[in-house]
Structure 1
């Protein structure tokens, strides 16, 4: 019988991200800091242009604020009129999709990766997050990896979402639970 701590110590763990990936993200972070971070809020077209240069697939007239953080723009896709508010963070190693009129309010956090805590190597796991049309992630709310926020769903302020949301339904709390049905205005 072997000691589990010794197995972990001796296990070879491949790096999750290559040196090339790290350099690409560093260039992205410097570019955002220099060209976007301190721009006036109404200059959405400029920030959208820079995001597209880095591979983001954006719809028309997105409102992406200068103080938001986007980990990998090349893994971001939006439809028309999506919004990423002030201080919102998009950690998207598994990709993030924002539908038409989807909103990430101030200081919300989309967390697209985790680790397998049952693995001796603490294996890195990345999952796509989908926020469909008219869905709203309110201020300081957290969406965990692999979650699907369906059309018209709302995650209340400060809530933590670990399960998919149903269409036109409002969720809140930690962990988030269904609170009530929202009016479907489409």
Structure 2
């Protein structure tokens, strides 16, 4: 039986103090996600809060990043409108990565077997040239390989090798192979 009263934040480090967290949430909600904020300002804000961001990165509006200091993005990567990066643990995006509209990268989960529902978090890594398509989800601990594709609406819960396509019906095939 689950006993949520026993839940603690044991083993989870937010990485910054409460004042920095509060300031980030204010900036995130008032400026960063706004449609009128230029992409170059979004990049500058992430860097100001500790993210490592390469050159030529495009970040659209309505993007949410839980903790910028736990984000690393390579060169010429695109982060589409409405993407949500729930990075309780580090998220690394390579160069020339595309995260399409409303994709979700979630490094946090819970141990459903433990009565206290403790955290079971793990980092996410997306290698150079990979594409996470619209409304796709990448879960904790997953490594998406070089030039791999997570199809629209698909959920990935285990590593995806390079040059592989993972579809919404959990099928995997080489990227260039016909459907």
Whether TM-score is above 0.5 comes out as yes
Partner residue, 1:98: 93
SS in 2 for 1:118: coil
Task: State how far apart, in whole Å, the 2-side matches of 1:29 and 1:37 are.
Answer: 11
Q: Paired residue for 2:175, among 156, 167, 181? A: 181
RCO greater where, 1 or 2, for CA within 8 Å and sep 6 or more?
Answer: 2
Q: For structure 1, which runs of at least 5 residues remain unmatched after alignment?
A: none
Q: Which residue of 1 is the match for residue 8 of structure 2?
A: 14
> What RMSD over aligned residues (CA atoms) do the two structures have, in Å?
2.3
1:78-125: per-residue Cα shift (whole Å, max 9, x none)?
A: 110111110010001111000000111000000111001111111112
* Pairwise CA distance, 1:22: 4.9
How big is each residue's C-alpha offset from its partner over 1:13-55, in whole Å with a ceiling of 9 and x where there is no partner? 43356796554333212112222222437x2211111110100
Aligned-partner Cα distance in 1 for 2:165–2:171: 8
SS of structure 1 residue aligned to 2:109: strand
Equivalent residue, structure 1, for 2:77:
82
Q: How does 1:109-128 map to 2 (within 5 A)?
A: 109-128=104-123
* 1:44-59 correspondence to structure 2 within 5 Å: 44-59=39-54
Q: Which residue of 1 aligns with 2:30?
A: 34
Q: TM (normalized to structure 1)?
A: 0.85
Aligned to 2:67: 72
Q: What is the Cα deviation at residue 10 of structure 1?
A: 7.6
* Larger radius of gyration between Structure 1 and Structure 2: 1
Contact 1:64 1:84 in 2 (8 A): yes
